[in-house]
Amino acid sequence: MLRGLHYQIRQPQGKLIRVVAGEIFDVAVDIRSSSSTFGRWEGVRLSAESHELLWVPIGFAHGFCVLSEFAEVLYKTTDFYAPEYERCILWNDPELRIDWPLPSAPTLSAKDAAGVRLRDAEAFP
């Protein structure tokens, strides 16, 4: 399973990510158009065993893929979820070239399959 590259363009959220069961590969993509690192991504493995956390600041899209049989992921956010402002960037945008550690094509939700390329997405200033 893969959860696409999500963010809220209005009412943006910073996210603290923690895995309480299983393991994931977690990705944050800089989508601040004025940033010198615009379009760059970082990925990290998080697991219940490692107890590590990932901070995803406002201005970044976030996604993850599950590496174990299942995973439980907890988010602590700086603002409430507002589905009307949520946007999604394609997990496999060829310009981002994210190196997802997947053995085969992932299972996607309809929302994640309908994501747009970064060049067509609403970005932060």
- For the residues 11-27, what does the mean pLDDT come to? 98
Q: What is the average pLDDT across 79-108?
A: 96
Asked if pLDDT for residue 103 goes beyond 90, the answer is no
CATH code of 2-120, in short, is 2.60.120.10
Active site residue 75: yes
Catalytic residue among 7, 62, 75, 85: 75
pLDDT interval class at 124 (50, 70, 90): very high
| Catalytic, out of 6, 51, 62, 81 | 6
As separate numbers, helices (DSSP H) first and strands (DSSP E) second, the chain gives 1, 8
Cα–Cα distance measured from residue 74 to residue 99, given in angstroms and rounded to the nearest whole number: 23
pLDDT tens-place string over residues 34-64? 999 999 999 999 999 999 999 999 999 999 9
pTM as predicted:
0.95
Catalytic (active site) residue 81 = no
Q: What is the mean pLDDT of residues 11-34?
A: 98
Strands (E), the chain: 2-8, 15-21, 23-30, 41-47, 53-56, 60-66, 72-77, 86-89
